[in-house]
Structure formats: C-alpha cells, structure tokens
Structure 1
Amino acid sequence: MHLGNLELDPRKLIYFVTIIEHGSLKKAAKFLDISQPALSASMSRLEADVGQKLMERGPSGVVPTRFGDLIYAHARLIRDELKLLERHMIDRRSRQDNAIRFGALPSLSVTIIPKAVGRWRAKYPNESLQIIQKVQIELLHALLGRELDFMVGVTDSYDVLSGLKQRVLFRESLHVIARKGHPLFLKAELGWADLVSFPWVSPPAGRYDTLLENVLKNEGLPSPASNTVSSSISMLKSLVATGDSLALLPRHAALAEIREGALDCLPISSPHLKRSIALFMRDGYEMQPAHRDLLEDVRAVGTEVSRQCEAFQMT
C-alpha cells in the first residue's frame, strides 16, 4: 500500500489493530498464531515506516498514542473491509449472494418482524432472507459497511447518518414495564421522580446514552442509581419479572408476558415515549420487489400492532 512516498504493509496494520483490541502483544500473538518476538519486530518496523511511536504500555496494557489512535481508526476499517470481502466470497461460493440481509432492533423482533416475515413468506416462499438483530448504532455501522441491505430502526440522530436515507414506517409508544404486583402499582399519584429510586434494565440507545437516560433527561431528572444495560430483550424481561427492576419497552415486545400476568405497564406516560420507526438504507440503493414487499409488510404489521396496543391501553 503506497501513500505518496510512504509504503505501508496492510498485514502490519491488521497486526496493530489486533494488539490494540486485545490490549497486549502476548494476547494478540496468540490470537494471530504467531510468536510474540515476531509480532514485536513487525510493530517496530511499522513504527519505523510511519516515523512515529504508535503504542505505549499503560496501567491496563498496551494503548495507542495519539497518532497511533489515528492509525488504528483507519487500519480497523481496512481490517473490516477485508473481512467483508472474505464473507462476500464465501457467500458467492455457497450461492448465498442473492440473500436479502435485513437488520432490525431486538424490540421489533419479538412480535412485529415475525408477523411481517410470515406474511411476506406467503408471497416469497423461496427467497433467501437473513435477519440480523442488533442495537441501533451497530445496525447503522453494518448498513454503512454493506453488511446489510437495509434496516428498520428508530429515527434518532446519529453521527453516522451521512450516506444514509430514512423513511418513517410507523409510530409506536414506549411503556414503563414492571412485574405484576410491583409496589409502584399501589401508588395513588405516580410521577417520574418515583421511578428513579428503583433499579432499571435498559436496552442500549446509542453510542453513549441509554434510552432511559434520554427520557429522564427530558423529564428534568437524573439517571437512576442502578441501571443494567442489556441488548437482549429476553434477558431484560426476565430481570424485570423476577425483581423490582423497571424497563422501557413498546407494549408489543412484552405482550406475551402481559397476557400471562407476569408483567404489566405502569400508569405513567410522557410525550417523549413516542417514537418513529423507520426504514434506513444507503443513498443510491435500489430495492427489488421482494425488498419493497418485505418493508410494506413491516409497515402494515407495525401500524396494526401499535394501534392495537394503544386501544388496549385505553380500555
């Protein structure tokens, strides 16, 4: 790899990324299946090539210098692109290159996505479909990295939206979920300040804040003292059902447990609990009929389920 008069070996860059991510030369050497002296010598040559120190030992292991952090950011992209190329080549050999790769939030994958896929399968029984469930920021990066064809997520503002476009599919409401018999159900006038003193379980919202922190901030309240973050909706519901923890979820994501009497929605609301669910896709991406029909089924099911949940809440 030539950059002007600078020549860099992509293999050394990948070695460097591995060291930073593992935090030590010993662990990186084991992962790469090479000797530690050979890895150390390779890094010395890389530092000589760029003319600056890239790493130093800190209390928690090997960490990048300021310049090393810049090299790491670019080298990681090279590593990820090579992995993506490898996956595409494997897909071609296994005849999976026509598969639809669709990303969705875990909370949508409990009820809405299965129902939508069921409808879509009646029209496309032989299409290959891969459904990836991740938190939103990970889905956006996967979409930008061309690991996904499109995704369905929340219309929040993220710094990675350059190169993407979005279209709202439906609106839904979040609810404070608690176990049946939680002490807060006995409180006559329930306010958000009452909820902060209890432990919470939250799905990640983005790179820094959880969804709960964003809502409480808009309510003028601090974050709860105890908050467990989990990207697994099943884990989240289990933790709420077996203790006094609270969680924010759309009603449809906990509908089975509500019907069984294990969970229920606390009688509290906020305008900040409304959110839009949207299609995200790369600029210039052209959808095929099967793609468009899948998204139409997601939109239709999402709209129906959200209306049903709202009607249930009012009864």
Structure 2
Amino acid sequence: MRGLPKIQQLQVFQAIIQHGSIRAAAKALDQSQPGITRSLQELEQKVGAVLVIRGGGGVILTGAGIMFKTRMELVLNELNRALDEVEHLNNLTSGTVAMGLSSLAILTLLPAALREFKKTNQKSSIFNREGQANELLPALQSGELDFIMVRAIPSEYLSGLVQEPLFKTSFKVYARKGHPLARCTSLAQLQDADWYLPVTAMRQCNPLESLLFNSPDKAVMRGTVNAVLQMVLHADYLTVVPKAMVRAHFLAQNLGIIPVKERLPDVEYCLVYSSERPITQAARSLMDAFHLESQQHAWG
C-alpha cells in the first residue's frame, strides 16, 4: 500500500497556502522556518511533485499544488468532523456546524432556527458565512461548510450535491418612500430609472431581468444587499428584492413597493449539502430547525 503523508505535513502545507509564505506559516504555527521547509520538502517527496514555487514575494501553487490542495482540504475538514462526532458521542460537545447563508435566510430564519436548535444542542459551536451560491459552493464542495441555504441552484451545478427545497418567496420592486416613481403601475414606466440589484450567480436573474428591462444592454449596478439598500434609500435607485427581506429589515419603514401590474416570478430557496459525505448529527439538527421555521414563516 502506498505510504500516506503525515497529518502534520498537510497542516504545514495548508498554513503555507493560507499565510502566503514559509516565513508567515512558521510564525503562525510557532515553528522554525527550517522546520517548515523540511516538512514541505518531505511532503513533496511523498507526493512526488513540486507543490509550490518559492520566491521573494512568497509562494505560488504549481498545477500539482492546486490539485493536491483541493483534496487535502477535504481530508482535513472531514477529519475535523470525525473528531467532532466522537466528542459528540462522548457528550463532550454537541458538535460544530459550519453553514453558508444568503442574506434573506439571515434576516428571516436564522434567529428562530438557532433558538430551536439550541434547545437540544446547547454545547454546539456555530460558524456562518454570508454569501451567494457562487461564493459558497466552493467551500461546501471542499468540506469547509456542512450546508448552505441559497436560491435554488441549476441542476448542472449540482454534481455530488443534494438540494432540498425550503420555500418560495415573491419579489417586488422597491424605492424609497416619496420617490418620484413610487406610484408607477407598470415596468414600462420604470425603464429609464437607475437600478441597483443584488449580485446574483449562475444566470439565476436572467428571467427576472428580461421582464424588468426592454433592452438587454440596460446599465445596471450590482452589489451586496446592504449596498443595494443604501443606494435605494440615499441615491434614488430602484431595486428588486424579496418582500420578506425588506419586511424583516429595519429599513422597511423607509422603503415602499412600487405597485407595478406585472407579477414578478417567485424564487425558490433551498438547503444544499454533499451527497458524498455523511452529514453530522448537529448539522442535520440545524437543517431540521431551518425546515421547521421556513414552514411557519410568512413569505408573501
């Protein structure tokens, strides 16, 4: 059987990648630079390939390094999960859950879901990363995240993943209260307005934008949800976001729906997780809490 690298060598390689140089990795791990260099060389000998190129500005991953990094991170993340599961079995903790949530999930479901989860998982540690599907998928695929909650992902991106539908929500056109276009009743009346839309991923917004704009060349600004809300409130931009998001946000008192006659398409949100790795008991428990809260929430 082929000999495998030592865990310490993998951790050294990971630190070099994270910190960008052997010197910075040595400082982070509280080890000497010669010791870090030796571990890296031993790992490269074991792998049979050069993994990084060292220069004055730090290190650069080789093609082999990039390939090895992806698998190595999955191994280390799964090993950490195995240790969490054993601790949970021994009643030392209730496990660690790492999740990725869209802004809508954070503003609507997260507080109540965590309260429900904590009823039976008092000792659990929770890590959350906010973002869109394209930002969160790499971390899910590498094993860094247990699951993500985002807009439904097209099937061509779901290899090795399970997608569980949670809820559908309606989108509305929003402006600040008192906006000159606040009483418009059709999208045609809004064609010349300035628009600021949340960043979307994987062409998910194309059907919506084809409905909003007559011209595919319409100039549209894009950014985070917080940036969108600020631009709508202070710069007279229009936007399209889920009604449930604005209702849950403190800016709801300052934003209003433009009553256009056209119905915007509903958008489905889902839980997504790996079909190739076992989900931990703690992660499954938190996912169940999100399912419960999504059924009780008003999405209209």
1:264 maps to which of 235, 256, 259: 256
Distance change (3 Å), C-alpha of 1:178 and 1:296: same
Distance change (3 Å), C-alpha of 1:272 and 1:85: farther
Q: Is the 8 A contact 1:100 1:128 kept in 2?
A: no
Q: Is the 8 A contact 2:174 2:238 kept in 1?
A: yes
Q: Is the 8 A contact 2:183 2:259 kept in 1?
A: no
Shift of 1:234: 5.2
Partner of 1:227: 222
d(CA) in 1 for partners of 2:262, 2:58: 45
Structure 1: unaligned runs, 5 residues or longer: 308-315
Aligned counterparts, 1:149-188, within 5 A = 152-157=149-154, 161-182=158-179, 184-185=181-182
d(CA) in 2 for partners of 1:290, 1:84: 15
Letter in 1 for 2:36: L
Letter in 2 for 1:26: R
Is 1:79 equivalent to 2:76 in the alignment?
yes
d(CA) in 2 for partners of 1:186, 1:112: 31
Q: Is the 8 A contact 1:8 1:49 kept in 2?
A: yes
Residues matched between the structures, number: 287
Partner of 1:311: none
Shift of 1:254: 0.8
Partner of 1:97: 94
Q: Is the 8 A contact 1:202 1:212 kept in 2?
A: no
1:23 maps to which of 20, 31, 37: 20
Name the TM-score, length of structure 1 as normaliser. Answer: 0.66
Distance change (3 Å), C-alpha of 1:98 and 1:65: closer
Alignment RMSD: 4.5
Partner of 2:233: 241
Structure 2: unaligned runs, 5 residues or longer: none
Aligned counterparts, 1:1-315, within 5 A = 4-57=1-54, 61-88=58-85, 95-97=92-94, 104-112=101-109, 114=111, 126-128=119-121, 132=128, 134-135=130-131, 137=133, 138=136, 141-142=139-140, 145=143, 148=146, 152-157=149-154, 161-182=158-179, 184-185=181-182, 190-191=187-188, 194=192, 198=195, 200=196, 202-203=198-199, 205-206=200-201, 209=202, 215-216=208-209, 221-222=216-217, 224=219, 226-228=221-223, 230=224, 233=225, 236-255=228-247, 256-257=249-250, 259-260=252-253, 262-267=254-259, 273-280=265-272, 295-301=291-297, 305-307=298-300
Q: Is the 8 A contact 1:179 1:244 kept in 2?
A: yes
Letter in 1 for 2:76: R
Distance change (3 Å), C-alpha of 1:113 and 1:78: closer
What is the DSSP-based 3-state SS (H/G/I as helix, E as strand, rest coil) of the residue aligned with 1:241?
helix
Q: Is the 8 A contact 1:107 1:249 kept in 2?
A: no
Query: Cα deviation per residue 1:127-168 (whole Å; 9 max; x = unaligned)?
Result: 3377756335437955984964x6654222266634443443
Name the TM-score, length of structure 2 as normaliser. Answer: 0.69
Identity %: 22
Distance change (3 Å), C-alpha of 1:97 and 1:19: same
What is the DSSP-based 3-state SS (H/G/I as helix, E as strand, rest coil) of the residue aligned with 1:78?
helix
